[in-house]
Structure 1
Amino acid sequence: MNDALAGLVVLDFSQVGAGPTCGMLLGDLGADVIKVEAPGGDIGRKLGPPWQNGESVVSMSFNRNKRSIAIDLKHPAGPKLARRLAAAADVVLESFRPGVMDRLGIGYAALREIHPRLVFCSVSAYGQTGPWRDKPGVDGIVQAVSGLMSNIGEEDSPPMKVQVPAADMTTGFLAFGAVLAALRVRDLTGQGQHLDVSLYNSALMLQQSALASYLASGEKPVRSGSAAPYSAPNEAYPTRDGWIMIAAYHEDRWKALCEVLGDPPLATDPRFATNPQRVANRKALTAELSTRLAAHGTLEWQERFETADIICAPIAGYDMVMDSPQLAHNGVLVETRNVDAGVVRMPGAAFGDRDAQSRVRRGPPAIGEHSREILGQFGVAAGDIDALLATGVVQQRKDKQ
């Protein structure tokens, strides 16, 4: 799949996490992704720590397999230049507030007139229409207003957010799928379309099971920490030296768990005999299991449980994750190189088995690293490029001029 999208040109005007993730995945599959950013750079470049030689590791993690052109869209000539590039592209990604691209003259309605095959994907907090259209929003805010934060943490704890940018990443993945579907429709009909992908809708889709349960029962979920609200035992338990996640809620595995714990009668205790009873009596169940699990360490329990075909795993810190033999086998981690930061490591696009992993063709670009190169690719004459650079419409890294 490395070259599945070879030949496609993507203009990525998006910033921070959601839109850039979509652009990155398209680049992973071979598309020529051109990151269009202001001379000061995508605002995501300011996210940190950590920094690597002054560059944001967070930003670089969203922007491999792209080239960068820095265009001042506030300059009268900037939107005109962007329009020229878009007229020769296959996909435009943008994450400005709704209406900004239209005011610049490079929104979908304007571009469709000159390029009806264009796939135009807008990524925003709440969507291009509706009462919240103009509200600003970022990952944490959307986690709050979508109900996601009300589900995270323990029952008596304050609201918590998912510490990875879950709304951003989910939106990026969904935008990626939407773009691929729109490209397929274009192949069939010859027509592009405008895609409206929002963090809010993505966060709701992420909560499929929880919201379906609420709609059926009318009962708000109770924050239950690591525990799944619909099954037990299915949560993290303390051991003598750490924590272990156990998913033994199917009846055969529940009985096997009690056998390994040395207490077969626990399986038929009236409080715990069925999954609904175990869910209803979760606190008592947790106390019983925690007492027994304190007898041995995590890795010893893991070995015993896996021998009995009980699904489990240690609660791994990132240091343990990096030492995982499965991680090493899958080849998920990739190395990229940024002209300023040097070598940067990150998870790659794991679309399938090892032979289907995407190649890293380019590291995360510096601001305007490829401006001159890109303009030449789109047929801008050398003298005109010099003029654009001289007037500040376009910025180019000095060492690349």
Structure 2
Amino acid sequence: MTKPLDGIKILDLSWVFSAPYATLLLQDLGAEVVKVERPGLGDRSRSLPPFQGNVSGYFYMLNRGKKSISLNLKSNEGKQLFLDLAKEFDVVVENFVAGTMDKLGIGYEHVEKMNPGIIYASLNGFGSDGPYSHLPSIDGIAQAMGGLMSQNGLEGGKPLKTGPAVADALSGIYLTVGILSAIIDRNKTGKGQRLEVSMMDSIFSVLEESVIRTSMTGESLEARGNKDPLGAPWEAFETKDGKWAIVCASGHDRFTKVYQGIGRKDIVDAFGGDDLASLEKRAENLDYLNGIFADWAIQKDLDELLSFLADLHVPAGEVKNVKQLIDDAHLKGRNMVVDVEHPVFGQIKLPNFPIKFFEKEMGLRIGENPLEPQLGEHNERILQSVLGLNEEEIKRLKDNGVIYQTNASKHTLKK
């Protein structure tokens, strides 16, 4: 079965999470992704935990099914090989500090001369212009400088970053959108282009109403934990069986149903109403209102609490951990949790491509067992099939340190 990006070839210089996540998404849509890694060490995520048998699960989850070549881009011959390869590809992806590719002599202007149709996609911390453009960044820096940390955490507490690297993931998703848009534009115009995603820009763009609120009031929105002034009860509540549920009862109607349902009509009388004054009164007393519901919720098991709220059409859900999620019936039913057999890890579970196409199957198909590429594993195949180099030429490149291949043998699935 064909996929939308079948035939699209991506030359991927990116490393760790942000841009490799973008190229993973594009691969799940059908693109061929060839990683270009530094000799010796390769993508830094090869050295990130969790490990089993000296193989990184972190590297595997982002690079399953991709190909790998290893070029010394500090050598003149390595740079020329890259430029020659770029002539035959549709997209170049990189996520180094802005300006790094230009210093190496393989920036957009260099590649565009060789391939006017190239889409050159960069992801970095702060973009290629502005006073921060020279600074390095990782996920936590982007969350801090983009404004997310100032709004995350408990009220009155220190700023907190999220657990998962959302700045990396979000900027990777934006890069994917940019690349797909550039491909559509090239189909119309025949021309490639350069595009760029900044991690700081990405975080700043999803601060919900914070930006317009601050521009209107002059005050920054502070961290408020799990609470929201739009409703009550609105918080994570512990239940009798030691579990947790998040409850988001927005609006007057849900507020009324909940507190009447727990036998507190006095609270409805004191704080009810759908006018602005009533909404503000509930927001000002949210800790008190949440506390009343918490006293009731701790006497109920989770299932009982969720059933009560479902009957009232109040949004609520269990706070689940990843151990629960990988066996979650709903996610498994939607093929979001995929079982993969790996020769080193054994049977593992991966998250699948989250966009569902009703006529075609994207992402990992049931029964597929893609492997991560060994460093430089596809040197010969790519150099022969794309550039037409012969074995003697490839051996000379190896001997001169222009290309590199790990000595580790390619693992295969055990029968």
Report the TM-score when normalising by structure 2.
0.90
| 1:147 paired to 2:147 | yes
Partner SS, residue 271 of structure 2: coil
Matched with 1:358 is: 363
Shift of 1:229: 4.5
How far apart, CA to CA, are the structure 1 residues paired with 2:281 and 2:59?
47
Q: Which 5+ residue runs of structure 1 have no aligned equivalent?
A: none
Q: Distance in 2 between matches of 1:310 and 1:236?
A: 14
Structure 1 residues 100 and 237: CA distance shift in structure 2, 3 A: same
User: 2:405 is matched with which residue: 390, 393, 396?
Assistant: 396
**1:323 & 1:307 partners in 2: Cα distance?**
26
User: What CA distance in whole angstroms lies between the structure 1 residues aligned with 2:99 and 2:343?
Assistant: 35
* 2:305 alignment partner in structure 1: 301
CA deviation profile, 1:19-52 (whole Å, cap 9, x unmatched): 101111111111010011112111122222x212
Which one of the candidate residues 352, 358, 381 is aligned to 1:373? 381
Contact kept? 2:332, 2:338, Cα under 8 Å: no
Measured on the aligned residues, the alpha-carbon RMSD in Å equals 2.1
User: Unaligned regions of 5+ residues in structure 2, if any?
Assistant: 411-415
Aligned partners of 2:249 and 2:271: how far apart in 1? 17
Checking the alignment, whether the CA contact within 8 Å between 2:252 and 2:273 is kept in structure 1 is no
Distance across 2 between alignment mates of 1:75 and 1:336: 39
Distance 1:353 1:297 in 2: 38
The alpha-carbon deviation at position 298 of structure 1 amounts to: 1.7
**Structure 2 CA distance for aligned equivalents of residues 353 and 327 of structure 1:** 16
1:288 has 2:292 as partner: yes
Counterparts of 1:345 and 1:90, CA distance in 2: 32
Relative to structure 1, the CA distance from residue 41 to residue 235 in structure 2 (aligned partners, 3 Å threshold; closer, same or farther) is: same
Alignment of 1:2-401 (within 5 A): 3-39=3-39, 40-48=41-49, 50-240=50-240, 241-270=242-271, 274-336=278-340, 341=345, 344-352=348-356, 356-359=361-364, 362-378=370-386, 379-398=388-407, 399=409
CA distance in 2, matches of 1:59, 1:225: 33
Q: Cα gap change, 1:290/1:267 in structure 2, threshold over 3 Å: closer, same or farther? A: same
* Matched-pair contact (CA < 8 Å) for 2:230–2:250: no
Please say if residues 229 and 286 of structure 2, whose CA atoms lie closer than 8 Å, have aligned partners that are also in contact. no
Contact 1:144 1:150 in 2 (8 A): yes
* Paired letter, 2:313: D
Partners of 1:226 and 1:236 within 8 A in 2: yes
What is the DSSP-based 3-state SS (H/G/I as helix, E as strand, rest coil) of the residue aligned with 2:349? strand
Query: Displacement of 1:344 after TM fit?
Result: 4.5
8 Å CA contact 1:233–1:247 kept in 2: the answer is yes
Cα gap change, 1:295 to 1:236, in 2 (>3 Å): same
What SS does the corresponding residue of 1:248 show, helix, strand or coil? strand
Counterpart for residue 413 of structure 2: none
Alpha-carbon separation, structure 1, partners of 2:289 and 2:322:
29
C-alpha deviation, 1:367, in angstroms: 1.4
Distance (whole Å) between structure 1 residues aligned to residue 347 and residue 382 of structure 2 = 24
| Displacement after TM superposition at 1:372 (Å) | 1.5
Give the drift of 1:162.
0.5
Q: Give the share of equivalent positions with the same residue, in percent.
A: 30
- Cα separation, 2, equivalents of 1:323 and 1:117: 45
Count of aligned positions: 399
Query: How many Å apart are 1:383 and its aligned residue?
Result: 2.0
8 A contact 1:272–1:285 mirrored in 2: no
SS for the counterpart of 1:143 is helix
TM-score, normalized by length of structure 1? 0.93
**261 and 31 in structure 1: CA distance in 2 versus 1, 3 angstrom threshold:** same
Query: Helix, strand or coil: the match of 2:63?
Result: coil
Deviations 1:102-159, CA, capped at 9 Å, x for gaps: 1222110111112111000011110011111111111111111122111111113222
CA distance in 1, matches of 2:121, 2:247: 41
After superposition, the Cα gap between the structure-2 partners of 1:307 and 1:13, relative to the gap in structure 1 and judged at 3 Å, is same
Describe the SS at the equivalent of 2:174.
Answer: helix
TM superposition shift of 1:17: 0.8
